[in-house]
Structure 1
Amino acid sequence: MVNLNGTVLKDAEAAVAIDNRGLNYGDAVFETMRFSARKIYFWEDHYFRLMASMRILRMEIPMNFTLEFLEEEILRTVNSFENNNAALRIKFLVWRKTGGKYTPETNDIEYVISFEKLATPFYVLSETNYEVELFKDHFITSGLLSTLKTNNRLINILGSIYAKENEYENCLLLNENKQIVEALNGNIFMVSGNTIKTPPLSEGCLNGIMRKQLIAIIKLLPDFSLEETSISPFELQKADEIFITNTIQGIVSVTKYRKKKFVNSTAKILLPKLNLKARMD
């Protein structure tokens, strides 16, 4: 089931025009959220990021797009699922209405809410091998647009194909200054001793919801110091630990980069605190 502009439909019944601006011009933004125990994890953060993204892209935000209204629309969509107590991955996609070429005829929007079932009701840390490599064929351009969740994800797609072809679990993306920005599907944190580093938004990394939660958690831990700073590829092999964060998986520990193997001790400290924060938020 999906919610298309307020109407809950079977997937096969939902349709958009072939001149949809999200399809033709990438004129769309989205939020991917985790739903568990009948609540949307970090809903307010997702909502305000979506509103900020729509404003930056000069979309007209409907008057009824309040925090409460959109939460109710998501819950109404989820309730159409027979197992609505399950853990779900929810996607809220917004695009500018059809009309115009590069110059839109209107800034009004349409939206769709969809979901799929997740395997676990809370965040878990996998102990399986997770090898990463740099993706150097294309670069993320640092700047405000790179921090948004738009559907312009060609670098992530090509990087994912590269990872699959070369049997890596993930790739790390670089900006035009050859600095580490993020992974294909999340933000990156690097641990060296008691210092935890993550790239600043000015480097072009996604303004991730899970990144925000982890930064808040780490700042409360007296045994660690956090630095939002540029990370050079040369630093990776000197690190003790690297982990990737996103809203659906939480924390994913990297086990190997080239010849360097990593521990996951910091991730094990952070994960229960993250699960607690998600339940209490």
Structure 2
Amino acid sequence: MNFINFNGDIFPATQPVLQISNRSFRYGDGLFESMRMIRGELKFAEFHAERLRNGMQALGLEGVSAITADFLKQKVVELAIRNEEGENARVRLTVFRDSDGLYSPSGNGFGYSVEMSPTTEAQYVSNTKGLIVDVYEELTKPANFLSNYKTCNSLIYVMAGIYRKKRSLDEVFILNNNGFLCETMSSNVFVLFNKTLYTPSLGEGCIAGVMRRVIMEIAGDNDVPVVEAQINPNILNEAEEVFLTNTSRGIQWVMGFNSKRYFNKLSKMLLDKLNESL
């Protein structure tokens, strides 16, 4: 049986724990982190805790100091032991405003939940077949002070996912409200062009991805120039490589966009360096 952690108590995953008045359900009033436990250790816990604290402060939640790397590690290990998941799992931690009220909340305390699902992978594994990706243009993502966090308001990604399935794509690029490249449904974007690695800057509205941060550091350590920029999606027709990053999957390389086909030499090297760092 799979178990979850809800506000510090362990429940069977099939047991209802949310009341209909929960603000994450009613208003998307919360944040979440997607994380990986590899070989019994929660990876990049400091980065996840930092982003979560920053997001909670942006939402005006109280008690932010309780969210530390040690807190995240403890909750993940406790749940893994209860679930008998082994040493490798994907983890989602959700934080929500735990109060009554309509749009104006009656308080700003927070509640949380932790879920996990097992995986057999003890490292990050490359996708053997490159992704086929297109641009989703029906909705754009606004760039504002909440855009860098993984909020519980995820309708743009849901609609992009419906678009992706209808067109039998592997992923879709999401643009910001100014028409520039932002991210994909679940990942940050990197584009290799003229021997320089480009990724949308945080000011363009993309998620401040933990794996984005890690890959930028690894690239810099290996003499690969990295530029955070405003990126016109037309560059996708000229780029040498395009790859996506998130903490759950590591690096996924893109094979095709329209009639353009890409290599994956750099993404493979960075993935090897990422696994070495684990």
Matched, 1:128 2:150: no
TM-aligned CA deviation for residue 234 of structure 1: 1.0
Structure 2 equivalent of residue 250 of structure 1: 250
Q: How does 1:261-280 map to 2 (within 5 A)?
A: 261-277=261-277, 279=278
Instruction: Say which SS state the counterpart of residue 238 (structure 2) adopts.
Output: coil
Matched, 1:44 2:46: yes
Moved more, 123-132 or 205-214: 123-132
For these two proteins, the number of residue pairs brought into alignment is 276
Partner Cα distance (2:26, 2:62) in 1: 19
TM-aligned CA deviation for residue 68 of structure 1: 2.1
Taking only aligned residues, the RMSD between alpha carbons, in angstroms, comes to 1.2
TM-aligned CA deviation for residue 275 of structure 1: 1.2
TM-aligned CA deviation for residue 13 of structure 1: 2.5
Instruction: Say which SS state the counterpart of residue 18 (structure 1) adopts.
Output: coil
Structure 1 equivalent of residue 229 of structure 2: 229
TM-aligned CA deviation for residue 273 of structure 1: 0.8
Partner Cα distance (1:189, 1:229) in 2: 11
TM-aligned CA deviation for residue 98 of structure 1: 3.3
Displaced runs of 4 or more, over 4 A? none
Partner Cα distance (1:62, 1:219) in 2: 31
Partner Cα distance (2:249, 2:121) in 1: 10
Structure 1 equivalent of residue 147 of structure 2: 146
Distance 1:161 1:118, change over 3 A: same
TM-aligned CA deviation for residue 63 of structure 1: 5.8
Distance 1:66 1:261, change over 3 A: closer
Instruction: Say which SS state the counterpart of residue 116 (structure 2) adopts.
Output: strand
Distance 1:135 1:63, change over 3 A: closer
Partner Cα distance (1:63, 1:191) in 2: 38
Instruction: Say which SS state the counterpart of residue 76 (structure 2) adopts.
Output: helix
Partner Cα distance (1:119, 1:32) in 2: 17
Amino acid at match of 1:190: V
Cα shift readout 1:12-49 (whole Å, capped 9, x = no counterpart): 22411101100001101011100010101101100111
CA contact (8 A) 1:51 1:61 kept: no
From 62, 73, 76, the counterpart of 1:74: 76
Partner Cα distance (2:38, 2:173) in 1: 29
Partner Cα distance (1:69, 1:241) in 2: 38
Partner Cα distance (1:261, 1:68) in 2: 43
TM-aligned CA deviation for residue 66 of structure 1: 3.8
CA contact (8 A) 1:31 1:46 kept: yes
- Normalising to structure 1: TM-score of the pair? 0.95
Structure 1 equivalent of residue 20 of structure 2: 18
CA contact (8 A) 1:198 1:227 kept: yes
Instruction: Say which SS state the counterpart of residue 74 (structure 1) adopts.
Output: helix
Distance 1:254 1:72, change over 3 A: same
- Normalising to structure 2: TM-score of the pair? 0.96
Instruction: Say which SS state the counterpart of residue 82 (structure 2) adopts.
Output: coil
Cα shift readout 1:247-272 (whole Å, capped 9, x = no counterpart): 01100000000000001010111011
Structure 1 equivalent of residue 31 of structure 2: 29
Q: How does 1:197-208 map to 2 (within 5 A)?
A: 197-208=198-209
Cα shift readout 1:137-178 (whole Å, capped 9, x = no counterpart): 000111221111101111111111101100110000001111
Instruction: Say which SS state the counterpart of residue 236 (structure 1) adopts.
Output: helix
Partner Cα distance (2:68, 2:240) in 1: 43
Contiguous gaps of at least 5 residues in structure 1 = none
Amino acid at match of 2:52: L
